[in-house]
Structure 1
Amino acid sequence: MTTVAEFIERNREQLIERYTRELGPWESSRGLGPSELTDSFPEFLSMLVAISRQGHRNDPSKTRSRLEGKHISQRVRLGFNQEEVTDEYVLMGRLISGLWEGLPLEQQPTLEDTRLLFEELQGAMDQVIVSFSGYSQEDRQREKLFLNRLNALASEVMGDGEHFIPLHERLGALVEVVREAMRAQGAALLLVAADGRTLLPTMYTGQWNVRTETEPVPLDGSSFVARLAASEEPLELPDAAGAGHEVSEGVRLSGLHSLLGVRLWPHGKLLGVLYLGVADIRPFEPQARRYLETLVEYLSGIIQKALLLQQLRQANERLARSETFHRLATAAISDAIWEWNLQTDIVTWSGGVEKLFGHMREQLGGHVSGWYDHIHPEDRERVVHGIHETIARGGQRWRDEYRFLHRDGGYVHVTDHGLVERDASGRAVRMVGAMQDITASKAASEALRVSEERLRLAVRAAELGTWDFYPVTGILRWDERCKALFELPLMPEVTYEGFMAALQPEDRERAHAAVQWALQPDSGGEYDIEFRPLRQKGRPERWVRAIGRALFEGGRAVRFIGTAQDISERKHQQQESQKRAEFAEQLIGIVSHDLRNPLNAITLSVAALLRQEELGERQAKGLARISAATERATRLIRDLLDFTRARLGGGIPIERKPLDVHSLCRQVVEEVRLAHPDREVEVVWSGEGTGEWDGDRLAQVITNLVNNALAYSPPGTPVHVETRGMDGAVLLSVHNAGSPIPPELLPRLFEPMTRGRPGGDAASRSIGLGLFIVANIVHAHGGTIEVHSEEVTGTTFTVRLPRRASTPSGM
């Protein structure tokens, strides 16, 4: 039987060609070049060949993760959606399996060989789904925006061969793009000195608009900058202000605190370091660290390329007329240098061609056709035509980008620059150039170079811990910050039972129910809950908020990922605010209750004085004003007491007795008329008006609604009051003309301390508790209250009162 590996190797070019051709008509593929369409497919084929031959004995997980991450990130940046990227792997499987489809069974791969192939393809598709679930459209657009800005600046620095802007004139703008992308307040760039032992302060932007380091920084020191240069991963400094000699005095006194930095490391060689500063003290989320790595890697390529081209330009300008040009250019440029004798078509190469592409100089040396043969077939015609056209048109400089064959069989992306030398008659006699491997920098511009963990955890807030739960296996993984929130030891894994045991007993059942619901397909997978970890001795109570999302396959939750955040300070503030509010309400109740006694004494005294016959007119008027003011104060105190009962006492108490609402309404309206002799109040009634209610409380409702109608209606317009008996209930409505209640006020009209529209009788208005108390009295009777207010029809309050209390269930 033939193996999958043999089928792939015999048909590699055919597979690549068919893959590119079938991908071309897709919506997101339009306008893309062949290299962008093919992406990492050749490398993926090589990995499948290795798996077919070796199975999983050599564990290709790192290779697979790199290829999948590279491919998915490139597709995200080009605008592909999840379905399109998944369909790519379906297309790969169809093209490969089509190689033996229709062949006799004995000529086809074994079942185990085929199974390994499709396991890899399925795993890649699973990775696509996980990646897209944690990477938003906003992330893609934001990244594309800043990479495009870097590209634009890079084009200015690189120029078109003859027109360019020196790197130092654009270096500040390049660093500023990184600072803006990271939303930092300051950015610093230090580059390696020529001696390779120190870092030179080079560029500072934002709040660090002057050098924070005034002297070169030794690479063998213990400073934050030196540690950055030696670290393969981004480093953080929580608070620069208290970091002592780890940072310079300029950083400590700048007002910026938390630092995040990464080294510039193109092609495995230190170029410099870049670090950012933010004003607050906080950790940086994994997404920010990944994003900084991507931006700085891309920036590294731009700077290195600009420096190399700058060196090449300087060398070309100095040595254009010298036979030593080739030797000095080779010293200035560490990449592959070539010299083409245009008279004999013989090409010679520097030792860099072996370092970059694995080819011995003798293998590529000789006739120029050997060079052409190593250019990717899809790029060859364009490149060859372009270089010969430059020579034929009398040009001096040539530049192009293309794919060049590596010794391992794959293609790498290169940028190639050449300078044409002519004799006195203008005839081209030779061409010297430099070829640079830009595969890494090109991948950085098209991909995020992130792992699965960084892609899927697009967290919604700062200072978060992250967790990852596999419901099928029961494995629960927490990062160090998440464990710190629960004060658990930094062990590799935490069980679900251990998580539950770390909660206060009162919160465990509720937290468990929330997890189980999120793992149900009907829940949508969303999870958002607050709970309390166990209180450690001598420590205050803490609160944690957990937010997560479950991922499903075939209706079963296979993964549950999320974040955890300490919200103790916010909860404590809420509790303190609640205590203050309750104290204020209790104080209002106490004060209003104690004020009733002196007010009652004033009322009785005034009434006794008014009965005296010898009072003069002036004295009588004065006593009448005292009586009116005392009555108003009594009403305010009554409202405050009712408000306190409603908010603290479980509602306004009522005492039901047989009552005729029609009679009560006529009586209350008559009392209101006496207080407003200049206004007309109409009363109509119909139907049966008897039932069981609290008469005093309903009198408050009627009085308040009628007084409100009089206060907020134009003088000379009537107020209409109607009571109407219905089956099981009585309706009370109060209507007035005039300007409507503002729409924005209607939703909170029955809340405490809320008043109606501006205007009305200021003397009759209260402190804004009237409608709140009315609503509570109506609700205490099991009734409802509604308001309808328009310019044309006026304002109507409608109260529905059940005739009797509802019967409790079960009786």
Structure 2
Amino acid sequence: MMGLSWGPGMAPAWELPADSETPCILLEPLHGETGEALDFRWTSMNVPAEGWVRSLELGRHVSLWTREGAALFDVATFVRVLMRGVPQVGLLPGDAAGRRYVVVRHGEGLALWLLPRDEGQAADAHQAERERAARQEVEAALARAEQTVSALREAEERYRLATRATHDVLWDWHFATDHVRWDPGTGNAFGHATSVLEHKLGWWGERVHDDDRDRVVDRLVEFVASTGDVWSEEYRFQRADGSWAHVLDRGVLARDDEGRPVRMIGSMMDVTERTRQMETMVEEARFRERFIGILGHDLRNPLNAIVLSARAQKRRGPLECTPEQHRQHAQRIEASATRMGNMIADLLDLTRARLAGGIPLRKGPTDLGAVCQQVVDELSAAYPDRAVAVDVDGKAEGEWDSERLAQVLSNLVGNALEHGSPDAPVFLRCWAKGEHQVLEVQNPGNPIPEELRERLFDPFRQGEGERGQGGRRNSGLGLGLFIVKEIVQAHGGTVEVTSTQKEGTTFTVRLPRPPRPKAKAKAGRGRTRTA
């Protein structure tokens, strides 16, 4: 087949002069299923070209033309010539004569010419090769630069989308200038104005809570001085309105070749709600644990007293018990049942306060002076050896829940009798002050430690080892003062406590009351004292 000067296939649109010594080969494109040119095959060639093809033992397809294992021509280059119509000139690879080739579009295919070295441009072959290599190196460098720029664009786009998708504050700390730049994303940067989105590190440190600042700043300094890369801390950060946010702050540190810190990038996440939920969960777990303890222990003691007294009564029979024994058993059962009833009532109030949004009230016309006297009379029967002084200044009438306020006073005066000095009286005062009615219970004695005053109105306070005067353990559940606070707050009032060695302990309750008509106020002014 190689003896033919022209092979079958695409008919040539022109003819070479018979005496031409310039090799020329006509190439036909081979198309894929989608129409793109994938390869080329020769269709005809002149005699000089036939000798060149035979000497190299080249096949029909250009993609298979190789010399010493390397491709003679780049098929992709031939495709570009076919598509664009721009001729391609180059050195013939591995040709000892240093010939050049030219590829031009011809009809629907290509024509490949092999030019002698002294034809066309007479540039030095080695110089041309060096220029081609340099050009390829530049093109490769440009391609790598374009890939780098493209990667940077993608990274910047990811960062931009990330900032739009988060409520966190993203920050960037440059060590050379000590400047920190904030990007609040879709959040509000804890309410701080845009003017402080760039600030010194000290501005941030000043807004860390006093109780957290030393720990957070010291650990940040230690981290920067270490060889670590990732830093994380939780602390309280001050919002622009003065309130405090719980934040989770995390950062990644970049260092130079010598290990010195250069830049640190991180984010501040507002975890206030998560922290509040965790605290609530812990509190609820403690509440359930204490509630179960009450059912298993505190209520069992009076129940055992009732059961033992009933068994003793049953075992001895009515004829074997003396009237005094009958009376003792009855008193023990009655006292234990009353104690159990008080505990159950306290638990119901606790449940209402925690789950029902507050203790319900039944308000009506109430005379607090009469309520004070009623409570003192009841407690005097339980503490016959103690003195309680009542001082009601003027009328103390208003719209309140009389039963609940009696419960408040009974708890406060009862605590004063139990915890106060046994040889000193307890004082209960009631007077009007502006638009409030004030109740005050005061007793001399040892002051309440400051660390206990902070949680005095928490539920189950008795369960933390507190004891009454003389070391006696309290008999209640530790819910009394918690219920006092809930009842007073349900009335829209406040309750406070002060306790010193000199003045003793004083609980002050302030209840809102409507202003009294002046005529009635004057007519009702007076002063009542009861000891």
The TM-score with structure 1 as length reference comes to: 0.30
| Higher share of residues assigned helix | 1
| Higher share of residues assigned strand | 2
The TM-score with structure 2 as length reference comes to: 0.44
Rg bigger for which structure?
A: 2
